[in-house]
Structure 1
Amino acid sequence: MKVDQKGHTITIKDTQGDIASFLMKVTHQYKTFEKHNIVIDLLSYNELTLTDVKPFMPLSKLHKKAKKSFVIVISDFDYNAIPDTLTVVPSLLEAHDIIEMEEIERDLGF
C-alpha cells in the first residue's frame, strides 16, 4: 500500500494486487486518514466488477458522514452500475476535481 498526501487529500494505492487485503489495510488504518479527503487508486486492476468495489461502501459512507470526500479511481468500469453512495471516476485528475467541487459545496453549506 502506497500513501501520498497532497494538501488536504490522501491518495492510497494498492501495491499488493489483492483487493480484499488492501481494503482490510485501509480499514485498519482508517484513523490515520479520517481527517483528510481520500482517493482510493485502483488503476492497477484491469478488470474489476461491482462485487469487487461494493465492500468499500461502508468506509465511503462513514467518511462522507464526517464531511470528507471519498473517491475511488478505476479506469475501465461500468460507471452506470455504481450505487449513489460510491463515487467512482476513471482518472486521478477527475478524482481531485470531484474533491474540489465537494469542498466548495461543503463551504457553501450544501
Structure 2
Amino acid sequence: MKVDQKAHTITIRDTQGDFTSFLMKVTHQYKTFEKHNLIIDLLLYKGFSTDDIKSFMPLSKQHKKAKKSFVIVTSDFDYNAVPSKLTVVPSLLEAHDIIEMEEIERDLGF
C-alpha cells in the first residue's frame, strides 16, 4: 500500500494486487487517514464489480459524516451502476477536482 499526501488530501494506492487485503489494510488504518480527504486509487485493478466498489460504502459513509471527501478512482467500470452515496471517477485528476468542489461547497455551508 502506498500513501501519498498532498495538502489536505491523501491518496491510497494498492501495490500488492490483492483487493481483499488492501480493503482490510485501509479499514484497519482508517484512524490514520480520517482527518484528510481520501482518494482510493484502484487503477491497478481491471474488471471491478459493483459489489467490489460497494465494499467501500461503510468507510465512505463514515468519512463523509466527518465532512471529508471520499473518492474512488477506477477505470473500466460502469459508473451508472454505482450507488449515489459513493463517488467513483475514472482518473486521479477528476478525483482531485471533485474534492476541490466539495471543499468549496463545505466552505459555503452546503
- Report the TM-score when normalising by structure 2: 0.98
1:49 counterpart residue number: 49
Does residue 14 of structure 2 align to residue 18 of structure 1?
A: no
Q: Deviations over 1:49-98 (max 9, x none)?
A: 10111110000000000000000000110000000110000000000000
Q: Deviations over 1:6-45 (max 9, x none)?
A: 0000000011111111011001000100000000000011
CA distance in 2, matches of 1:67, 1:19: 26
Where does structure 1 lack aligned partners over 5 or more consecutive residues? none
Aligned residues: percent identity? 82
Where does structure 2 lack aligned partners over 5 or more consecutive residues? none
1:34 counterpart residue number: 34
State the SS of the aligned residue for 1:24. helix
Segments ≥4 residues shifted beyond 3 Å? none
Does residue 69 of structure 2 align to residue 62 of structure 1?
A: no
Q: What's the RMSD between the two structures over aligned residues?
A: 0.5
